[in-house]
Amino acid sequence: MHEHDIDWAGMAERLITEGEALLPFVTGAAASLAERIAPRRIMDIGAGPGVAACALAQRFPDAEVIAVDGSEQLLERAAERARSMGMRLTTRVAEFPDGFADLPEADLIWTSHVLHHVGDQAAAVRALAGKLHPGGILAIAEGGLTTRFLPRDTGLGRPGLEARIEAAATEWFSRMRAGLPHAADVVEDWPTMLAASGLVEAGSRSYLIDRPAPLHDGFRAFVRSQFVRAAETLAEDLDAEDLATLTTLAGDGQDSIAHRSDVYILAARTVHSAARPQPR
């Protein structure tokens, strides 16, 4: 199994807990977007199990919201979520890049943490820009600050574990990208890519997610899933001491994420956006 062969459907629960934990960046960005546009149709590209798509449907109740993803199983979860929240949501299976030609145009295209899984990110931005109605906005959530969960010194192993996990995850990310079909190196300057796709008013804004300790069980489950995933994916990148600490944190004991009083969620997520110009 290569880094880029990700079992998305198998990650449904993890994507839901993550989406819910980080939801403030979606609601914050949606509020900023609502000051600029009253969309009739919204597409969430790579919507997964639909946490953001449902938040967008809530923020823009008059819009038709289409959740688009390569995974039919995840879209079933998105539809279930929408039903349980009493939201209207349409789903559409489409795989980047080939399946995107048939998608309709939209006034707001939202895509969060998806384009970095596509080999040619600049081409993906161009393809999405081409699906905007005049005056429509493309909003891309990529980057920000790595989420932190624990104090520097946790009383377990060498202090600074999360900084070393971040460094190892950066290497993993580069390997993942290099293995993608049609992988193309590009400077990850999203506003420049948006402008190069013919869009105007390109800019970026970041949103804070601040959930202080002590966390409730739902958010704790998200943090634990992050440590379990780090232990799975970074086993060869971390030294034995850090891996042992990570395994303890991801386990069930008194020192684990499940029982510690000092676990928090602190993150920033960036949303880059630009508009398709109106014809003169």
Interface with ligand SAM by CB under 6 A: which residues? 8, 15, 19, 46-48, 52, 69-71, 74, 95-96, 112-114, 117-118
> Smallest gap, in angstroms, from Cβ of residue 215 to ligand SAM?
19
> Smallest gap, in angstroms, from Cβ of residue 48 to ligand SAM?
3
Give the separation between CA 155 and CA 171, rounded to whole angstroms.
27
> Smallest gap, in angstroms, from Cβ of residue 102 to ligand SAM?
13
Q: Which of 242, 279, 269 is nearest to 113 (CA)?
A: 269
Cβ atoms of residues 108 and 45 within 8 Å: no
CA torsion sign for 174, 238, 157, 18 is positive
> Smallest gap, in angstroms, from Cβ of residue 4 to ligand SAM?
9
Complex with ligand SAM: residue 133 or 229, whichever CB lies closer: 229
> Smallest gap, in angstroms, from Cβ of residue 171 to ligand SAM?
19
Complex with ligand SAM: residue 112 or 147, whichever CB lies closer: 112
Cβ atoms of residues 80 and 58 within 8 Å: no
3-state percent helix, strand, coil for the chain, nearest multiple of 5: 40, 20, 35
Complex with ligand SAM: residue 69 or 107, whichever CB lies closer: 69
**83 in helix, strand or coil?**
helix
Complex with ligand SAM: residue 263 or 271, whichever CB lies closer: 271
Complex with ligand SAM: residue 70 or 130, whichever CB lies closer: 70
Q: Which of 211, 218, 226 is nearest to 263 (CA)?
A: 211
Give the separation between CA 199 and CA 192, rounded to whole angstroms.
10
Complex with ligand SAM: residue 130 or 151, whichever CB lies closer: 130
> Smallest gap, in angstroms, from Cβ of residue 197 to ligand SAM?
18
Q: For residues 173-209, b (16+ Cβ closer than 10 Å) or e, as one string?
A: eeebbeebeeeeeeeeebbebbbebebeebebebbeb
